[in-house]
Amino acid sequence: MITTPRASASDLLDWYDRHARDLPWRVAPADRARGVVTDPYRVWLSEIMLQQTTVATVKAYFAKFTRLWPTVGALAAAPREDVLAEWAGLGYYARARNLHACAEAVVRDHDGIFPNDEKALRELPGVGPYTAAAIAAIAFDRPAAVMDGNVERVMARIFAVETELPDAKPELRELTAQMTPETRPGDYAQAVMDLGATICTPTSPACGICPWREPCAARAKGIADQLPRKKPKKTKPVRMGHAWVAMDGEGHVLTTTRPDKGLLGGMLAVPTSEWSDDPDPVPPFPADWREVGEVRHTFTHFHLRLVVHLATLDRLPGPSRALPQAAAAMPTVFAKVLKLVTPAP
């Protein structure tokens, strides 16, 4: 049976009112208290960007996106290829495809207004349980249980949950729901995330200044820095591939668009072979190809080693872009490929 500790939401909210992080997509607690309305579009956009990505990285992308497309309607009206190009470098590119599809759905099905409950939010493209709860709580002050990695860590330590992740997730989710207050649930959700990001950190948690230090069961047991426990990670496999860079004398590079389905779907790229244990090194068309080196890149589930081939042609047999602009619009792995073939200044 789960027992709620003496930790109280009010103690954490008092701490948050004094120490909340200043984030470009956040309405400060003092402003919320004065009635400043939170923009659901900015909450949704930031939450999609923050999936698997750090706050420091997201800030610049968030500023760029809100400058280019300040409303969900503006984002929905933008060409998808423009959205994908501006997303380049942020990673996890299915998020970018779903981002555009979600904006279109909000405009088409909801008159440009985000729904304000979890069930309706989860019907939108790319909005899963965590994101729906975060939008419902932060944008609409609904008492939704918001659980990201920071919240998991805080709950595991407050309740001394020693079950390994991911098996512990259902228990941690139940604890998160128990702790979520009816009053100020949006500020509370952000407070727990801030606590995990700044004090209850993965290593060397600053327990001495934590507003929940007294009721923390893991601190009392002396195991706070050991939680949450995780199952050992599996060794990532290594896949091989070939990249084919065709350039003309003016510094333009042949480009292609990857299929919508699959890794890096819909993104601008250079032609490649399949990525497998033993890829077939057949170029996309006959030319004087020469091997110029190898690029290595790590994805979530595997390491990739790309052998890079270069050909210089008088005329490129397809769409092209100037090399610097092409690299800027491509995912990181292809930007690495183009950097390899770029002459040093």
Has 250 been annotated as catalytic? no
Structure tokens at 153: 């860590």
Q: How far is CA 173 from the centre of its chain?
A: 20
Instruction: Mark out the alpha helices in the chain (DSSP H runs).
Output: 9-19, 29-33, 40-50, 55-68, 72-77, 80-87, 94-110, 118-122, 129-140, 149-158, 169-179, 185-198, 217-221, 323-329, 332-341
Confidence class of residue 138 from pLDDT cuts 50, 70 and 90?
very high
CB 274, CB 262: distance < 8 Å: no
**pLDDT tier at 260, thresholds 50, 70, 90:** confident
d(CA 55, CA 278): 38
Q: What global pTM score does this model have?
A: 0.85
Q: What is the band of 195 on the pLDDT scale with cuts at 50, 70, 90? A: very high
What pLDDT, on the 0 to 100 scale, is given for residue 2? 44
Q: Which of 52-56, 170-174, 292-296 has the lowest mean pLDDT?
A: 52-56
Tens of pLDDT, residue by residue over 6-26, are 789 999 999 999 999 999 999
Q: Which amino acid is at 56?
A: A
- Give the rounded percent of residues in the chain with a pLDDT score beyond 70: 98
pLDDT (tens digit per residue) in 301-319 = 999 999 999 999 999 999 9
The string of pLDDT tens digits covering residues 22-54 is 999 999 999 988 889 899 999 999 999 999 899
Tokens representing 198 are 């700044």
Per-residue confidence (pLDDT) for residue 322, from 0 to 100: 94
Among residues 266, 262, 257, 258, the alpha carbon closest in space to that of 97 is found at: 266
296 phi/psi in degrees, rounded to 5? -115, 140
Q: What percent of the chain clears pLDDT 90, i.e. is strictly above it?
A: 88
Q: Out of 47, 86, 118, 152, which one is annotated catalytic?
A: 47
Among the residue ranges 44-48, 109-113, 256-260, the one predicted with the least confidence is 256-260
